[in-house]
Each structure stands twice: as structure tokens, then as C-alpha cells.
Amino acid sequence: MKLEARSLECRRGDRVLFSGLDLALDAGEALRLAGRNGSGKTSLLRMLCGLTQPEQGEVLWCGQNIRRHREEFNSALVYLGHAAAIKDELLAWENLAMSAAIAGRPVDEDQACGALERLGLGAAVDLPARALSQGQRKRVALARLTLAQDRPLWVLDEPFTALDAAAVQALCETVDRHLAAGGMLIYTTHQEISLQARRHLRLELGGAA
């Protein structure tokens, strides 16, 4: 298993956010995208997931261009964006069930509640999302990971934001298990995080702040 980017270029209006960008990630490895606000981290994550097309270059999964092998790539991928896609009017467990179904992995109420309980949300499973704190909403979004252990590529945009120390620790342990099992992680964060990866790479976008 391998994710590669070759000569990627991303433009926003007149601005070139990055160009000639190469990277390669193997099983068990983690890549942190760093850089100041607006340097292009989210833009690169979305490009690596195939959600936006690069102006130049290509992204390869197991040696194949992700545009031409979309279905195979999507079935290997979990992408969690920065702003948790949580619907206020749905209960916490319904939100998780909905996002799992959209990702092609339906779960029933018991499975959704079990995943939320593992993230310390046992008392909140039946609350509408509008009644959840920011950190609790983030936990609901992150619960998807515990239902997607078999998907090798996790792409997480600021997963640690809004989490308290215990939740950061729990997420690190989930990620460490994923990496130890040969999974891969690409993520952004403005915090210093310690992970147990075979290689923990760092890519700085946009130069120094």
C-alpha cells in the first residue's frame, strides 16, 4: 500500500499555494501537514482525497491514478474535514449512523451507540446534536474512525481541535493502533502531537509564518 503525490500544483485565484509538490506515504506511516493559517493544508488534504483536482500533477494509490480508480480508492479512505458535518436536528447516534451510511458502511443504532460510548459519549447518544458542546460534536465526528478500522488511509483535518486532554489521548491511541496495524495517516494540526508511527513525516506549507 502506498499513497503518492507527484508534482502537485494548487492555485487559488492568482496565488500559487504550492507547486512541484511530491510526497510518498507507506503502510504504518504518518504525515503531518504544518503551516500558518491559509498556507494550503486543507487544500492539499482535499486534493489528496480527490475532492479537488490539481492544476498540475497527480495522486496515486497503490500506483494507480485515483481519478481513474475512484471506487477502489474511496473504499480505502476515511476523510474527516475540519468542520464536523454534524446536523443539529439529528441525535448524536443518528449523526454517526448517517455519516457511516454516506461513507458506504451502514451501522445500526447499537453499533453507533457503542462507538460513541467508546469515545466517552455514552450519556449523550440520545441528545440532539445542537445540545452538544464543540468538543462533543468533534467526538461524534471522530467516532467514524472506530467504525472504519479496516480502511487503511485516514485523512484528518485538524482532528485534535476542541478536544480536551483525555480525548486527545484517546484519539492518539486510536491512531496508534491504526498505524501499528499498517494503516496510514495524513493530518493537520497546530498542536504538537506524539504518535507511534513507523515514520512520522512533516511537511511545512507556505514557508515560515
Ligand X SMILES: Nc1ncnc2c1ncn2[C@@H]1O[C@H](COP(=O)(O)OP(=O)(O)OP(=O)(O)O)[C@@H](O)[C@H]1O
Q: What does the binding site for ligand X look like in residue numbers (CB under 6 A)?
A: 12, 17, 35, 37-43
Which of 150, 160, 207, 209 shows the shortest CA–CA distance to 188?
160
Q: 89 or 192, CB closer to ligand X?
A: 192
- Compare residues 42 and 196 and give the one whose CB is closer to ligand X: 42
In angstroms, give the least distance from the CB of 46 to ligand X.
8
Sort strands 15-26 and 2-12 into parallel, antiparallel or unpaired: antiparallel
Distance of closest approach, residue 85 Cβ to ligand X, in angstroms: 16
Instruction: Give me the least distance between CB of 42 and ligand X, in Å please.
Output: 3
Minimal distance, residue 5 CB to ligand X, in Å: 15
- Taking the least distance from each CB to ligand X, the nearer of 166 and 209 is 209
CA-to-CA dists, residue 166 to 154, 169, 171, 207, angstroms: 21, 5, 9, 32
CB 7 within 8 A of CB 57: yes
Contact 66, 76 (CB under 8 A): no
Q: Which is nearer to ligand X, 37 or 191 (CB)?
A: 37
Minimum Å gap between C-beta 89 and ligand X is 27
Distance separating alpha carbons of residues 197 and 135, to the nearest angstrom? 25
Q: Which residue has the cell 496565488?
A: 15
Output 100 or 141, the one with its CB closest to ligand X: 141
Cβ-based nearer residue to ligand X, 37 or 194: 37
CA distances from 11 to 14, 52, 91, 164 (A): 7, 11, 39, 35
Shortest Å distance, C-beta 82 to ligand X: 6
40: left (phi over 0), alpha (psi -120 to 50) or beta: left
Rounded CA-CA distance 112/140 in Å is: 10
